[in-house]
Structure 1
């Protein structure tokens, strides 16, 4: 910056400014070294205004994201959406922190680490990583479940990490052992005389009860085919 100022001073002798307050226009006369001059007229900012500010849509999004993610994660989300700062720069953790401070947006607070194991009746909305630990299944399985409709995920905005709502009903769908008489997907399709995809659609619509076994060699989806057999989700 110091060298830049020195360069400017080496070519400019002086600058005269005439302000027209009512019209909010400033007229500048630049006198160059050697005597030549250039006239420029420019519109002035409103009192207290700034030339470039972050657009309101991005500010609103940062406010929403700050409730769930830290500044580094927010910067990554905005980068995925190809958003830029008011001056055209990429978003970083420091720039997100500056925006929060400017607009009074509180920083993300990590929730206390409670035991979210079986027997907890409170519903939790967690990331894929946390859901993997709570349910004892892999990320690949969780993404497949969302694709198949076995569970439902949500994104606050495109590019944000997926979040899963874990309640007691979902916990009950994950079992350490195969319920007696319940069949694998292939066995259920054979017993019903239907295609695998048809059986999955019946599970999604709630026409067939299903659980996921997360331990042992018999991991995977297990389906209750015989409706007269008491099942995990039967209502008295």
Structure 2
């Protein structure tokens, strides 16, 4: 599932947007763990390095300070899933992709939608192609 990130990124991915999803579980974490927030925003540069232009990188940070236990109250996560589902996303970026959703059902649903829509996933460890 993992290899050279540049080999995984195709022109078809670059024609779509890159979605950077940023979240921390509590407001306390947002204020006390500023390094994590900075690392998350820095992933934007990884998308640029892979070929996305700045104007094609959409940052979704409306869930800062909200738990990932359920997607019910996370407008940002719901938006992310919707954008992937309608084929607008070429790649989804997150600090640790397994933390995009703490709820297994939400996480697996996003992975399935990424596979169906040929959307790549990126975290600090690499680029993943679920369609393979």
Q: Tell me if TM exceeds 0.5.
A: no
RCO higher in structure (CA 8 A, sep ≥6)? 2
Task: Find the structure with the greater CA-based Rg.
Answer: 1
How high is the TM-score relative to the length of structure 1? 0.20
| Greater per-residue helix proportion | 2
